[in-house]
Chains A and B, each alone.
Chain A
Amino acid sequence: MSTDSLAGLTTPAGPAKRPFLEVKDLTVRFNTDDGVVKAVSGSSFAVERGKTLGIVGESGSGKSVTSLAVLGLHRTRSNATVSGEIWLDDKELVTASDEEVRKLRGGKMAMIFQDPLSAMHPYYTVGAQIVEAYRVHHKVSKKEARVRAIDMLARVGIPQPEKRFNEYGHQFSGGMRQRAMIAMALVNDPKLLIADEPTTALDVTVQAQILDLIRDLQQEFGSAVIMITHDLGVVAELADDVLVMYGGKVIERGPAADVFHEPQHPYTWGLLGSMPRLDRELRDRLTPVKGSPPSLINLPSGCAFHPRCPYAGRNGDRSFTETPELRGGVHAVACHLPAEDRQKIYEQEVAPNL
């Protein structure tokens, strides 16, 4: 999209050009007293600049852990082990030193958290926190940083930014607080923005405002955005590509239009079927996924989804013994069902009920 004017980006034109962010085979494990929590297992994805990746999944599916791993926030936790590769702009992050990652964090990559009240410090004014974020990465005077912070607050649509600059987090309403969070995340012109459930705590009218804001800012700055949410509606609004996670694994990956119009994995069908929709005729009953999400300590054998999958028995005992790989080109899926069967089941049994 736009050219990068700031932060002195150098992109060496290698022979095989990597995507802006590429995550390969990312695995995150936590050692706890109860056993090893396999929070993320072998997940791979990529985001280009100016594009939005939506990560969908239920609580405990590993979506937040994935994003924290990209930011290198598991480094400080002694019980976490991260393996795999994370390439941000041709720089490997898993093996990079703490100091290197710390420089990137908040600068080239930034995060918007779900709950802005707890993500903001109650003791410092909103302005002071934005100024701090800016001065960590830029050698500027307090005065200059203040101008920049007020400019950012105005940019995200906070009225009277000079006055709001001196107020505390609790004096902001939910929507305004989330805007302030976004201003804080964007103050260093990040090239990668990770938004972890940015609108879950907000009302729909405010949610619409915030989604609009993220979209506009992305167009303006041309950053890559990772949108983590459990709300398929939000993903459909923003994402170019979608990643569906279940039990710490990516089970479906593809362009948003494909995933929504020709979903391949039975879990994705279940998610779509669980959702009452305003844009469709009223259904008598919702068609939920039976059962509940698995424990990440004790994942089911084979395909982690098999205890909840209505089609698990169709492949002999493969679903129970063998873990399906994520297969396919642009639109990939991890399922043992043969593609033709899946197509048939979707068209005949699932699609009419959506």
Chain B
Amino acid sequence: MKGQESMTEAARGERENLLEISGLQMHFPITRGVFKRKVGAVRAVDGIDLTVAKGETVGLVGESGCGKSTTGRLMTRILEPTAGKVVFEGRDVSHVGNKGLRPLRRDVQMIFQDPYSSLNPRHTVGSIIAAPLQIQKIPTPKGVKAAVQDLLKLVGLNPEHYNRYPHEFSGGQRQRIGIARALALRPKLIVADEPVSALDVSIQAQVVNLLDDLQKEFDLTYVFIAHDLSVVRHISDRVAVMYLGKIVEIADRDQLYSNPRHPYTVALMSAVPTPDPARRNSAQRNRVLLTGDVPSPINPPSGCRFRTRCWKAQDICATEDPALTARLGDPASHQTACHFPVAEDEVVAGRRPASSNA
């Protein structure tokens, strides 16, 4: 175990960083009145640093509204950040215009959550998948149709279905079409925003396996955004946990799941239902129940943002925002933003819910 960990760490050291984001912020303005006076801002992403090495899969987890999707959209530069930098292969692309972005689009692609709304219902599958090839003027020696059919075969669809429309496919098949479209340009980085959460369990596993195979075949780098902790564990090398626009904990997969430090990570993991009736009672006893909801990102709590729902919160948490660093003798790759990280043998709050009430 230990040897394996250090090996992956060494491997990452050698690998170059494909994507680096630093101090990334996305504040959506709230306007009022005829003159669109700015009265506030939704701080969807509020200062994120993250590097993605070539060939690895980084998982991004968190509850809805924590800014994980916005982060994904900033990485692909669908959105322009309010502050901070997005550096792809050494080139700062944070504020590049549409024209300058075109080469980036070839290298960075996205898979969307909802396979029903991310495909144009008026276009055939063939033209949907061919679109990126034509826009980027990619030479297709055997013709566009052959290229598209190769892609269809690659994602496990029947190449004869080239002329069908999206509504003729099931959810899982549509998601495969979305994957084929993302793969068409042979990108280096794919940002997958909840690619399997709309699918049935058995189909979900098929798509996860497909993503796995494609990564091996094309040496892809993934940023995998999901709220399902078990799927993220299955697919990721490294996992970042987000809460209210910030990363609260980031670590290698095994580190994070065996030894979560941040109280929020602990709560999140304990909330996942165990598919084993025999362990029902022990699972319930060990569950950390968070009360209330995620606070509003318009007016986040001072200091540590999780303090309003945290059972370990003390005075310092309200005044000082904890830095994201290695805590309690963790390796440098395991960083936690918490003043009172959870130790390995700590008895967690158990069935007693966090004291504060929303």
Contact = CB atoms under 8 A, between A and B. Distances in A.
Contacts of A233: 272-275
B205 interface: yes
Contacts of B270: 208
A223 B231 CA distance: 34
A181 to B, nearest CB: 16
B164 to A, nearest CB: 15
B208 A257 contact: no
B285 interface: no
B289 A208 contact: yes
A260 B277 CA distance: 7
A203 B205 contact: no
A169 to B, nearest CB: 15
A159 B64 CA distance: 21
Nearest to A260: B277
Interface string B212-250: 100000000000000101110110000000000000000
A138 to B, nearest CB: 31
A159 B170 contact: no
Contacts of A234: 273
A278 B280 contact: no
Interface in B240-273: 257, 267-273
A292 B234 CA distance: 22
Given A205-B63, A278-B230, A59 B272 contact: no
A257 B277 contact: yes
Nearest to B212: A285
A147 interface: no
Nearest to A287: B205
B275 A236 contact: yes
A285 B209 contact: yes
A230 B201 contact: yes
A232 interface: yes
A282 B234 contact: yes
A290 B204 CA distance: 11
Contact of A286 (B209, B229, B280, B357): B209
B21 interface: no
Contacts of A293: 170, 200
Contacts of B357: 159
Interface string B124-139: 0000000000000000
B202 A208 contact: no
A176 B357 CA distance: 13
B334 interface: no
B273 A231 contact: yes
A278 B229 contact: yes
Interface string A270-308: 111111111100110111111011000000000000000
A277 B231 CA distance: 8
Contact of A274 (B201, B257, B277): B201
B268 A271 contact: no
A193 B270 CA distance: 27
Contacts of A292: 170, 172-173, 203
Interface string A251-283: 000001100110000000011111111110011
B233 A282 contact: yes
B332 interface: no
A257 B278 contact: yes
Contact of A204 (B204, B212, B271, B291): B271
Among A233, A273, A288, max chain B CB count under 10 A is at A288
A159 B268 CA distance: 22
B273 A205 contact: no
B201 A232 contact: yes
Chain A interface extent, by class: 35 or more
B283 interface: yes
A272 B230 CA distance: 13
A67 interface: no
B231 A271 contact: no
B272 A278 contact: yes
B271 A208 contact: yes
Choose among A58, A205, A239, A287 the residue with the greatest number of B CB atoms under 10 Å from its CB: A205
A203 B197 CA distance: 12
A244 to B, nearest CB: 12
A288 B200 contact: no
A2 interface: no
B266 to A, nearest CB: 11
A162 to B, nearest CB: 16
B201 A58 contact: yes
B283 A237 contact: yes
A232 B274 CA distance: 9
A206 B291 CA distance: 8
Contacts of A272: 275
A279 B230 CA distance: 9
Given A260-B276, A276-B231, A292-B170, A59 B200 contact: yes
B85 interface: no
Contact of A273 (B63, B205, B230): B205
B39 interface: no
A202 to B, nearest CB: 9
Nearest to A242: B277
A173 interface: yes
Contacts of B280: 236-237
B206 interface: yes
A208 B273 CA distance: 8
Contact of B205 (A176, A239, A286): A286
A277 B201 contact: no
Interface in B161-201: 170-173, 200-201
B202 A278 contact: no
B230 A288 contact: no
A209 B289 contact: yes
Contact of A289 (B202, B230, B234, B358): B202
B61 to A, nearest CB: 10
Contacts of A232: 201, 275
Interface of A: 58-59, 159, 173-176, 203-209, 211-212, 230-237, 239, 256-257, 260-261, 270-279, 282-283, 285-290, 292-293
Q: What are the nearest 3 A-B pairs in CB distance? A: A233-B273, A288-B205, A274-B205
Given A208-B270, A278-B230, 6 more contacts: A173-B293, A203-B227, A204-B63, A232-B201, A261-B278, A277-B230
6 contacts: A159-B358, A230-B201, A235-B275, A277-B274, A288-B202, A288-B203
